[in-house]
Structure 1
Amino acid sequence: MEVSSFPTSCKSLQQSPSVEALLPRKSWFPHWNQVHLFPTKKALRPLVGRTGNLTWKQNHSQVLKCQLKEVPIIETGCMEEIYDILAKRLVPNAAAESNPNFKHIVGLCGPPGAGKSTLAFEVASRVNKLWPQKSSAFDSQVESPEVAIVLPMDGFHLYRHQLDKMKDPEEAHARRGSPWTFDPERLLRCLINLRNEGSVYVPSFDHGVGDPVEDDIFVSLQHKVVIVEGNYLLLNEDVWRDISSTFDEKWFIDVDIEKSMERVLRRHISTGKPPDIAKWRIDYNDRPNAELIIKSKQRADLIIKSVDFSR
């Protein structure tokens, strides 16, 4: 597909150097907390086992079992419990840092209908509630108790006028939401600016208008935890691979594809699409995208088993 030219810079507090010069080295945080135990490059962190238990006995044999797992998995009876677990996981890493520019950036990936936005905002909300209990050193330095923020990938959709300029505009609009209908270079630049400068403006997405809204989200110095949520954050190709390298942690929401497509169908119908058009869009666009995204699950540091939101 041919994409028309579009600025890939992202407004920040300072003019940023080139992308190639600023790709950050991954940082690891060898801290323990009470929830998970899984191995990183320098240490073991807490883990929730497949059995749904919230803690494991930390003896030698069980640690070895953890190390043999490709990716640790969180699986419990309800999403509320998962939100709490993930928030408790994030707070110690952020609270241990005294650098005012510090950011602990999480990449949250999953197929359409997995519940990424809900999980990201619920976890951020819980981090903000837990923060005063864990990080009194920062309380006097920030203007707001909110230290966690969500950065949605939706704001990096190509504009409709850019899709109009592609070789096959009708196909481009029909497949909107596929990887090639986003601007990953711009997302990468924003993440690099955030890592190096501590603050950045990013676009949001207006679903009513169907286009991004420039500079609508401000990630400031006070934010210590940034949850970036989107479909393609773990793809192992082209610029997406570089985006993945900017994250301190990579999470994947694992959901049965039939369940996720049911949720997407309800979403399409709720926005006014006739049922037959909604089903066609799922078969033509949403399901192929979901199948591609699911293949990137193996690149996650942590897999979160999605359950019905009503449970």
Structure 2
Amino acid sequence: MSKSIEEVYDALTERLLSSATKVLDLNSKYIVGLAGPPGAGKSTLASEVVCRINKHWSQKTLKKDSAAQNDDVGMVLPMDGFHLYRSQLDAMENPEEAHARRGAPWTFNPDLLLKCLHALRNEGSVYAPSFDHGVGDPVEDDVFVSSQHKIVIVEGNYLLLKEGAWKEVCSMFDEKWFLDVDIDTAMQRVLKRHIYTGRYSEQFVKAMFHIEDHKCLILLITVPGKEPHVAKWRVEYNDHPNAELIMKTKTNADLVIRSVDF
């Protein structure tokens, strides 16, 4: 019998609280790496589990001391903030390809992510970048993981990839989770997301023109929901090959979670 999404969240929360019990009373961190292809539901799963962890911890703390301060012990750290800047893609040997393939592992900065994870381990807190989808670039020092955050779920596509600097990133996690999903299902979700947001950078559209050589195609790229053909191209050219690579990292996980429709 398949579990509901709420049951999945609850089971993961219970597992994580049980595994991380020792660090909750110590000056240390329990760091989980949550990987999976785009469209799997990583961000939702991470935020839901952390929300439940914080609620559980708050209730437990108040039972012991009704005057105790309600501090969150769980935190989500998205990998999105570790995208390379558009200016860095512009400086690459093939900038059109770099913009068209933005989201591939080589368009991220795993060295900076590794530096942040080491700071969490050694110093207990860190400022990390977020990603502004409206601007299309990271925002420096926008996410603060403090010493009170004992359980940190890092979520992103390539956290279990064992190539180059990603291999050392993968070694930093106490637990490695993989959110498994049928690729076709994931790509349908991604396609809907692209169409709904309807945001494509000028560089991305130029890259599409350059690669496909569609000289007479006119795109109204700023209006959400109006350009499904652009979104479809993006999924086929970029998201799908990325997802295929990510699926190969599933064998590096300690726990494989089956994605549930939501």
Shift of 1:92: 2.8
1:78 aligned onto 2:4: yes
Give the structure 2 partner of residue 91 of structure 1: 17
Alpha carbons of structure 1 residues 136 and 105: separation in structure 2 relative to 1, 3 Å: farther
Q: Decide whether the 8 Å contact of 1:92 with 1:134 is kept in 2.
A: no
Alpha carbons of structure 1 residues 271 and 191: separation in structure 2 relative to 1, 3 Å: same
Shift of 1:95: 3.2
Find the aligned partners of 2:47 and 2:115 in 1 and give their Cα distance.
23
Shift of 1:101: 2.4
Question: How many residue pairs were aligned?
Answer: 235
Find the aligned partners of 2:190 and 2:148 in 1 and give their Cα distance.
35
Q: Decide whether the 8 Å contact of 1:100 with 1:221 is kept in 2.
A: no
In terms of fraction of residues, the more helix-rich structure is 2
Give the structure 2 partner of residue 58 of structure 1: none
Alpha carbons of structure 1 residues 130 and 95: separation in structure 2 relative to 1, 3 Å: same
Partner secondary structure for residue 97 of structure 1: helix
1:304 aligned onto 2:241: no
Show structure 1 runs of 5+ residues with no match. 1-51, 53-75
1:167 aligned onto 2:93: yes
Give the structure 2 partner of residue 242 of structure 1: 168
Partner secondary structure for residue 96 of structure 1: helix
% identity of equivalent residues: 65
Partner secondary structure for residue 57 of structure 2: helix
Q: TM-score, normalised by structure 2?
A: 0.85
Find the aligned partners of 1:239 and 1:200 in 2 and give their Cα distance.
20
The partner residue of 1:155 within 81, 86, 92 is 81
Shift of 1:133: 4.4
Find the aligned partners of 2:188 and 2:159 in 1 and give their Cα distance.
23
The partner residue of 1:262 within 188, 202, 208 is 188
Find the aligned partners of 2:170 and 2:65 in 1 and give their Cα distance.
31
Shift of 1:93: 3.1
Q: Decide whether the 8 Å contact of 1:101 with 1:197 is kept in 2.
A: no
Find the aligned partners of 1:123 and 1:139 in 2 and give their Cα distance.
24
Give the structure 2 partner of residue 183 of structure 1: 109
Question: What per-residue deviation string (whole Å, max 9, x for no partner) do you get for residues 197-223 of structure 1?
Answer: 110100000001100011111100100
Give the structure 1 partner of residue 224 of structure 2: none
Question: What per-residue deviation string (whole Å, max 9, x for no partner) do you get for residues 191-245 of structure 1?
Answer: 0110111101000000011000111111001001000000000011111110010
Show structure 2 runs of 5+ residues with no match. 199-220, 222-226
Question: What per-residue deviation string (whole Å, max 9, x for no partner) do you get for residues 242-297 of structure 1?
Answer: 00100000000000000000000000000126111111111100000000000000
Aligned ranges for residues 87-126 of structure 1 at < 5 Å?
87-97=13-23, 100-126=26-52
Find the aligned partners of 1:114 and 1:150 in 2 and give their Cα distance.
16
1:283 aligned onto 2:240: no
Find the aligned partners of 1:115 and 1:158 in 2 and give their Cα distance.
23
Partner secondary structure for residue 202 of structure 1: strand
Letter in 2 for 1:153: M
Q: Decide whether the 8 Å contact of 2:181 with 2:259 is kept in 1.
A: yes
Letter in 2 for 1:146: D
Q: Decide whether the 8 Å contact of 1:113 with 1:260 is kept in 2.
A: yes
Partner secondary structure for residue 119 of structure 2: helix
Q: Decide whether the 8 Å contact of 1:132 with 1:139 is kept in 2.
A: no
Aligned ranges for residues 55-66 of structure 1 at < 5 Å?
none
Shift of 1:145: 2.6
RMSD (Å), alpha carbons: 2.0
Find the aligned partners of 2:32 and 2:64 in 1 and give their Cα distance.
21
Shift of 1:97: 3.0
Q: TM-score, normalised by structure 1?
A: 0.72
Q: Which runs of 4+ in 1 moved over 2 A?
A: 92-101, 132-140, 142-145
Give the structure 1 partner of residue 246 of structure 2: 293
Find the aligned partners of 2:124 and 2:87 in 1 and give their Cα distance.
32
Shift of 1:137: 11
Shift of 1:187: 0.2
